[in-house]
C-alpha cells in the first residue's frame, strides 16, 4: 500500500528542509514497510544493507510498491507503525527508501531525538 500524502511530504522535505518537521511528525504517525521476517519467537529478523560509509543499516520504505518496483515481488517485507520500528531498533542506523531517488539516513542520535520530540 502507499501513502501518497506522506510520499509528497517526503519529497517536499527533501527539496526544502523547512518542510522536514511536518514530514517527521507525519512519519511517526504512519505505517511503514521494512524488509524482514517475523520469527516464531516473536522477534523480527531485519534485512540489513551497507551504507555508503560502510556501516550496517536497516532499510525501510514508505510504500510496499517501492519495495516491489525496486527490489522485486519476492522480497519479504512487513508493515508496522514507524514509531514502533524506531523504538525497536534504537541504536541502529535506518535508511528510508534507500533504493529511491529520495532517501534519508537516520542516525541513532536522530532516532533518539525523534522519539523524544514533541511536534507542534
pTM of the entire predicted model: 0.88
Name the domain count of the chain: 1
- Give residue 69's domain range: 4-116
**How far is residue 11's CA from residue 13's CA, in Å, rounded to a whole number?**
5
pLDDT tens, residue by residue, 91-104 = 999 999 998 888 99
- 51 in Cβ contact with 57 (< 8 Å): yes
38-87 pLDDT, tens digit each:
888 878 889 999 888 899 999 999 998 888 888 887 888 999 999 999 99
Q: What is the CATH number of the domain that holds 86?
A: 3.40.1350.90
Amino acid at each position: 500500500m502507499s501513502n501518497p500524502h506522506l510520499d509528497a511530504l517526503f519529497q517536499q522535505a527533501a527539496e526544502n528542509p523547512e518542510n522536514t518537521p511536518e514530514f517527521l511528525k507525519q512519519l511517526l504517525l504512519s505505517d511503514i514497510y521494512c524488509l524482514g521476517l517475523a520469527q516464531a519467537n516473536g522477534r523480527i529478523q531485519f534485512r540489513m544493507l551497507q551504507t555508503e560509509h560502510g556501516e550496517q543499516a536497516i532499510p525501510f520504505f514508505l510504500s510496499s510498491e517501492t519495495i516491489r518496483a525496486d527490489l522485486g515481488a519476492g522480497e519479504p517485507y512487513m508493515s508496522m507503525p514507524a514509531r514502533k520500528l524506531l523504538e525497536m531498533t534504537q541504536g541502529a542506523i535506518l535508511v528510508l527508501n534507500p533504493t529511491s531517488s529520495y532517501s534519508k539516513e537516520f542516525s541513532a542520535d536522530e532516532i533518539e531525538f525523534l522519539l523524544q520530540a514533541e511536534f507542534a
